Amino acid sequence: MTTAIVTGASRGIGRAAAIEMSNNKDVDNMVLIATNEAKLGETMGLLNPRVNVRAIVYDFSSQEGIQEMVKEIYDEFGSIDWLLNIAGYTDPKALLDTTLESMVKTYNVNVFSLVAMTKECVKYMKLNDQSKILNVASTAGMSPRPGWLSYASSKSAVISISETLALELSEYNILVYCISPGRAATDLRKTLAPEEDPTTIMQAEDVANLIGDLMKMSEYCLDGQNIVVRKQVKKL
């Protein structure tokens, strides 16, 4: 019985990945975690009905209660096998316009909660024959972008964390994947580029398809690598 946890499952890549996971024959149980209860319910309605699903409303701007939440998941399903860290936050501003509070929230959601979730899940994952972790970073974390200070630097941290965890967790046979999507038509992208035509860029489903392929793999060939995901869309 494989149990998969998907954070940020109420919208965008997180929702598309949850749908993709529900269609994976190896997944029996799913736990969807997000802040927006109504949108989380919408996601549940889009999943393949064959999987057992639990939805948890949680705000990753704090790490309080993560340890207890993960333990409850393990106690309910008996294992934690896959963790998809997709929850993200951005408040794009240049240095002189940003606030420390905004930067702290960005790092809480994008970095510290990711680490906290991973740490608590690994306590149970290491009991399995093999487990998988997928972290979603961004191409913004690979190159400097004026005005994206907190977001870009937080995603750079996710890339580095993923590479380090792949080495640390190999002794437990835990695979760690990291993907860095380019421009994708999500609510997050609307915040970063409100004037952009979403039909001209990659869709959340394109990223979810890659996530689905990665989670089906059992080899180490892509473990610990930062996988860049881009798709050129040409309008006729």
Residue 92 has a pLDDT of 86
Residues 164 and 122 sit within 8 Å (Cβ to Cβ): no
CATH 3.40.630.30 fits 2-229, yes or no: no
Residue 192 has a pLDDT of 67
Residue 236 has a pLDDT of 43
Residue 108 has a pLDDT of 98
Residue 202 has a pLDDT of 81
Residues 91 and 150 sit within 8 Å (Cβ to Cβ): yes
Question: How much is the CA Rg of the chain, to the nearest whole Å?
Answer: 17
For the four alpha carbons of 149, 204, 136 and 64, in that order, the dihedral sign comes to positive
Show the DSSP H helices in the chain as ranges: 12-22, 37-46, 66-77, 100-107, 113-125, 149-168, 187-192, 204-216
3-state secondary structure 47-106: CCCCCEEEEEECCCCCCCCHHHHHHHHHHHHCCCCEEEECCCCCCCCCCCCCCHHHHHHH
Burial letters 170-199, b for 16+ CB under 10 A, else e:
eeeebbbbbbbbbbbbbebbeebeeeeeee
Domain spans, the chain: 2-229
Predicted TM-score of the model (pTM): 0.92
Q: What is the mean pLDDT of each run of 10 residues along the chain (236 residues)?
A: 97 96 96 98 97 98 98 98 97 93 97 99 97 95 89 97 97 96 74 72 87 82 83 54
DSSP 220: S
Give the angle subtended at the CA of 84 by the CAs of 83 and 90, to the nearest 5°. 135
How many C-beta neighbours within 10 Å does residue 140 have?
A: 22
